[in-house]
Amino acid sequence: MLKSNVLSLELPWNRKTVGVIMMLVFLPNILSMVNLTTPGGVKLHTFQVAIFLAASLLGPLGGLLSGLVGSLFSALSLSNPYIMIGNGILGFFTGWFLRRGIRPIFAVWLAFCLQLLWLVPTDYFLAGLSGSFIQNLVLMLFLSNTLWAVVAARLSGPLKRWLP
Protein backbone atom coordinates (compact mmCIF):
# COMPACT_ATOMS: atom_id res chain seq x y z
CA MET A 1 0.00 0.00 0.00
CA LEU A 2 1.38 3.38 -1.04
CA LYS A 3 1.29 6.02 1.67
CA SER A 4 0.38 9.54 0.60
CA ASN A 5 3.00 11.27 2.72
CA VAL A 6 6.12 9.15 2.57
CA LEU A 7 8.10 11.35 4.99
CA SER A 8 5.53 11.76 7.76
CA LEU A 9 5.91 10.08 11.13
CA GLU A 10 2.23 9.03 11.18
CA LEU A 11 2.24 8.40 14.93
CA PRO A 12 0.76 10.59 17.65
CA TRP A 13 3.30 12.35 19.83
CA ASN A 14 3.04 10.82 23.30
CA ARG A 15 5.34 9.20 25.85
CA LYS A 16 5.24 5.80 24.20
CA THR A 17 6.15 7.21 20.78
CA VAL A 18 8.95 9.37 22.16
CA GLY A 19 10.27 6.40 24.16
CA VAL A 20 10.33 4.18 21.07
CA ILE A 21 12.06 6.91 19.06
CA MET A 22 14.68 7.39 21.77
CA MET A 23 15.28 3.65 22.05
CA LEU A 24 15.62 3.16 18.29
CA VAL A 25 17.94 6.15 17.99
CA PHE A 26 20.31 5.15 20.80
CA LEU A 27 20.07 1.33 20.59
CA PRO A 28 22.37 1.12 17.53
CA ASN A 29 25.18 2.68 19.58
CA ILE A 30 24.92 -0.16 22.07
CA LEU A 31 24.52 -2.80 19.37
CA SER A 32 27.53 -1.46 17.46
CA MET A 33 29.69 -2.80 20.30
CA VAL A 34 28.52 -6.34 19.47
CA ASN A 35 29.73 -8.27 16.43
CA LEU A 36 28.77 -11.88 15.84
CA THR A 37 31.51 -14.04 14.32
CA THR A 38 30.35 -16.87 12.08
CA PRO A 39 32.20 -20.20 11.85
CA GLY A 40 33.65 -18.94 8.54
CA GLY A 41 35.17 -15.95 10.32
CA VAL A 42 32.74 -13.35 8.95
CA LYS A 43 31.86 -10.68 11.51
CA LEU A 44 28.22 -9.66 11.41
CA HIS A 45 27.33 -6.24 12.79
CA THR A 46 24.17 -6.08 14.89
CA PHE A 47 23.32 -2.35 14.91
CA GLN A 48 21.35 -2.50 11.66
CA VAL A 49 18.38 -4.22 13.26
CA ALA A 50 17.53 -1.05 15.20
CA ILE A 51 17.93 1.13 12.11
CA PHE A 52 15.64 -1.15 10.11
CA LEU A 53 13.08 -1.24 12.93
CA ALA A 54 13.14 2.55 13.12
CA ALA A 55 12.68 2.78 9.36
CA SER A 56 9.82 0.28 9.47
CA LEU A 57 8.01 1.78 12.46
CA LEU A 58 8.77 5.48 12.01
CA GLY A 59 9.45 5.83 8.30
CA PRO A 60 12.33 7.54 6.52
CA LEU A 61 12.88 10.20 9.19
CA GLY A 62 13.02 7.60 11.96
CA GLY A 63 15.48 5.54 9.93
CA LEU A 64 17.57 8.64 9.24
CA LEU A 65 17.73 9.61 12.92
CA SER A 66 18.52 6.07 14.00
CA GLY A 67 21.25 5.78 11.39
CA LEU A 68 22.84 9.16 12.14
CA VAL A 69 22.71 9.24 15.93
CA GLY A 70 22.99 5.48 16.27
CA SER A 71 26.35 5.52 14.50
CA LEU A 72 27.97 8.00 16.85
CA PHE A 73 29.88 5.35 18.85
CA SER A 74 31.20 3.65 15.70
CA ALA A 75 32.18 6.96 14.13
CA LEU A 76 34.08 8.01 17.24
CA SER A 77 35.73 4.66 17.94
CA LEU A 78 36.87 4.22 14.32
CA SER A 79 37.67 7.91 13.76
CA ASN A 80 35.45 7.79 10.68
CA PRO A 81 32.65 10.39 10.83
CA TYR A 82 31.46 9.32 7.37
CA ILE A 83 29.88 6.23 8.93
CA MET A 84 27.13 8.40 10.41
CA ILE A 85 26.06 9.79 7.05
CA GLY A 86 26.24 6.36 5.40
CA ASN A 87 24.02 4.79 8.04
CA GLY A 88 21.69 7.78 7.85
CA ILE A 89 21.36 7.09 4.12
CA LEU A 90 20.69 3.41 4.84
CA GLY A 91 17.98 4.19 7.39
CA PHE A 92 16.32 6.97 5.40
CA PHE A 93 16.06 5.03 2.16
CA THR A 94 15.00 1.81 3.86
CA GLY A 95 12.08 3.73 5.36
CA TRP A 96 11.42 5.50 2.08
CA PHE A 97 11.28 2.26 0.08
CA LEU A 98 9.14 0.58 2.76
CA ARG A 99 6.66 3.47 2.60
CA ARG A 100 6.57 3.00 -1.17
CA GLY A 101 5.30 -0.55 -0.58
CA ILE A 102 8.53 -2.41 -1.35
CA ARG A 103 9.03 -5.59 0.65
CA PRO A 104 11.49 -5.26 3.56
CA ILE A 105 14.38 -7.35 2.20
CA PHE A 106 14.28 -5.55 -1.15
CA ALA A 107 13.91 -2.16 0.55
CA VAL A 108 17.05 -2.85 2.57
CA TRP A 109 18.98 -4.08 -0.47
CA LEU A 110 18.00 -0.99 -2.49
CA ALA A 111 18.91 1.31 0.39
CA PHE A 112 22.23 -0.51 0.77
CA CYS A 113 22.99 0.06 -2.92
CA LEU A 114 22.43 3.78 -2.35
CA GLN A 115 24.55 3.68 0.81
CA LEU A 116 27.39 2.14 -1.20
CA LEU A 117 27.49 5.24 -3.40
CA TRP A 118 28.58 7.07 -0.23
CA LEU A 119 30.48 4.32 1.59
CA VAL A 120 32.94 3.23 -1.10
CA PRO A 121 34.34 6.64 -2.09
CA THR A 122 34.45 8.04 1.45
CA ASP A 123 36.09 4.92 2.89
CA TYR A 124 38.61 4.76 0.07
CA PHE A 125 39.45 8.41 -0.54
CA LEU A 126 38.70 10.07 2.81
CA ALA A 127 39.19 7.33 5.40
CA GLY A 128 42.12 5.76 3.51
CA LEU A 129 40.86 2.17 3.64
CA SER A 130 42.21 -0.30 1.09
CA GLY A 131 40.12 -1.64 -1.75
CA SER A 132 40.37 -5.22 -0.47
CA PHE A 133 39.22 -4.14 2.99
CA ILE A 134 36.25 -2.28 1.50
CA GLN A 135 35.39 -5.30 -0.63
CA ASN A 136 35.25 -7.51 2.47
CA LEU A 137 33.33 -4.81 4.36
CA VAL A 138 30.71 -4.61 1.61
CA LEU A 139 30.22 -8.38 1.68
CA MET A 140 29.98 -8.43 5.48
CA LEU A 141 27.52 -5.51 5.48
CA PHE A 142 25.40 -7.19 2.80
CA LEU A 143 25.16 -10.35 4.89
CA SER A 144 24.44 -8.39 8.08
CA ASN A 145 21.87 -6.19 6.38
CA THR A 146 20.10 -9.21 4.91
CA LEU A 147 19.95 -11.04 8.24
CA TRP A 148 18.75 -8.01 10.21
CA ALA A 149 16.23 -7.04 7.52
CA VAL A 150 14.54 -10.40 8.03
CA VAL A 151 14.64 -10.05 11.82
CA ALA A 152 13.32 -6.46 11.72
CA ALA A 153 10.52 -7.45 9.35
CA ARG A 154 9.40 -10.15 11.79
CA LEU A 155 9.60 -7.83 14.81
CA SER A 156 7.98 -4.78 13.23
CA GLY A 157 4.51 -6.34 13.01
CA PRO A 158 4.10 -6.96 16.75
CA LEU A 159 5.75 -3.63 17.56
CA LYS A 160 3.40 -1.73 15.20
CA ARG A 161 0.42 -3.25 17.03
CA TRP A 162 1.89 -2.12 20.36
CA LEU A 163 2.41 1.47 19.22
CA PRO A 164 -0.61 3.79 19.24
Residue 81, in any domain of the structure: yes
pTM: 0.88
pLDDT (tens digit, 9 = 90+) per residue, 12-69? 777 877 887 788 888 888 888 887 887 877 777 888 999 999 999 989 999 999 999 9
Q: Is residue 7 part of a domain?
A: no
The answer as to whether 67 is a domain residue is yes
Within-domain flag for 146: yes
99-105 contacts at long range (C-beta below 8 A, 24 or more positions apart): 99/2, 99/3, 99/6, 99/59, 99/60, 100/2, 100/6, 101/1, 101/2, 104/52, 104/56, 104/149, 104/150, 104/152, 104/153, 104/156, 105/146, 105/149, 105/150, 105/153
Structurally, the chain folds into a number of domains equal to: 1
Within a domain: 8: no
Q: For the chain, what is the mean pLDDT?
A: 88
Residue 124 in domain: yes
Print the domain residue range for 108: 15-162
| CATH code, domain with 127 | 1.10.1760.20
